[in-house]
Structure 1
Amino acid sequence: MSRYSLTTRVATREDAPVLAELWSDAVRRADRSEQSADLELVVKGAAASPEQRVVVVEYDGQLAGAVYLRVTTLSPLNLEPCVQAIHPRVFDQFRRHGVGHTLMEAATSFAEENGILHVVTAVPHSSRDANRFMARLGLAPVVMYRIAPTTLLRSRVSPQRSALGADNGRTKVLAARRSLRRARAERLATLPEV
């Protein structure tokens, strides 16, 4: 049985079409050529910054996985520096061959190069395998990152004014009916019996 080699390198703009396929669920919804153009810009921007890096792992010469690395802070409120390993992904046919481990090793090396004590990552909450893998590497869950379309959130945090007005009017009508019923009941109670 022959052993295939894993090679780690910095991504180039020529990798963009394959990265668009790998990260298809993470990039904006558009056709593949637009996604590739977006990723060319991402790779170009990362190459120009010492605080960013797009790393790919090749398995026997084929691009098998990638991760976007970025130096930032733990949060906008906690200014302790960290390396974010954003969307570490491995193509299905290359899973269980050490590619994911190699991507996270690259993230660790990037953190060490920059003198940073923490590495954080985010994986889809629905990916049981990815979450187990990260747990085995010692990455603990800290927060759950949630997302919603702005229009949906607006409809939930503040009811629409037209619905509020209609509801308010309905409430007034019901209150008036109740008052009329009470008044009728009181009049009937005070009438002498015949």
Structure 2
Amino acid sequence: MTRPSVTLREARPDDSEDVGFLTEVWAEVMRRCDAEDRAGDVVSLAARAAASPDERLILAEYDGQRAGAVLLRLATLTPLNLEPVVQSLSPHVHPAYRRKGVGKALVEAAAAFAEERGVAHVMTASSSGSREANRFMARLGFGPLATLRVAPTAVVRARTGAQRAPLRQPGQTRQLGQVLAARRAVRRESA
């Protein structure tokens, strides 16, 4: 008996089954909105990737069934380090197809895209809470480059001292609130 094989192909923005699968498998990493808007986001991603020589949206199929996906994008290592890199964004395998070679095939697709474009490095990211995904990437040779942290703007503002005076642009005079506070202080002193 032969083992089912993993095949790779580009996702099609006009295929509702591709869009539905991608919306489901990437649900945790996409913006929080209704399913229709997420499906629209997937269509936009797939159309952009199909039109760009620097992007590919790859679907992995296992025995003819959609099993995983990854978005590949040519970029720079960081906005400051302009060394080219292939970003392997959100490589996900459907839970029913894990440990069947699908994840490895997606990483191989990223390496092939990098070689095709003459790029020396591939980078990816996995959720900090996903021990299995992080161990998988480490086994394939990926090491940590940075730790990305995220917080709501309101929390950052509260914890960095929002009561501080806002920064002024060159040539900008004091804010109205500062002017009024200074006038109140002068009135209190003279009363």
Shorter-chain TM range is: 0.7 to 0.9
* 1:12 equivalent in structure 2: 12
Tell me, yes or no, if structure 1 residue 74 matches structure 2 residue 72: no
Quick one: which of 49, 66, 69 aligns to 1:46? 49
TM-score (norm 2): 0.82
Query: Comparing 105-114 with 150-159, which one deviates more in the overlay?
Result: 150-159
Letter in 1 for 2:6: L
Gaps of 5+ in 2: 165-191
Shift of 1:150: 1.1
Structure 1 residue 2, shift from structure 2 partner = 4.0
Deviation for aligned residue 1:48: 0.6
User: Of residues 134, 147, 151 in structure 2, which corresponds to 1:148?
Assistant: 151
Q: Which amino acid aligns with 1:11?
A: A
Match of 1:29 in 2: 32
Partner of 1:141, secondary structure, is coil
Shift of 1:159: 3.2
CA RMSD between the two structures:
1.0
Distance 1:46 1:159 in 2: 41
* 2:131 counterpart of 1:128: yes
Q: Which residue of 1 aligns with 2:179?
A: none
Q: 2:61 aligns with which of 58, 61, 74?
A: 58
Q: Structure 1 stretches of 5 or more lacking a match? A: 162-194
**Alignment equivalent of 1:87, drawn from 72, 86, 90:** 90
TM-score for both structures, normalised by structure 1: 0.81
Q: Distance in 2 between matches of 1:32 and 1:21?
A: 9
The residue type paired with residue 159 of structure 2 is R
2:10 partner letter: V
Greater helix content: 1
What corresponds to 2:169 in structure 1?
A: none
In the TM superposition, residue 160 of structure 1 has moved relative to its aligned partner by 3.8
Please say if 1:117 is aligned against 2:113. no
Per-residue CA distance 1:123-142 (angstroms, 9 max, x = gap)? 00110010000000000011
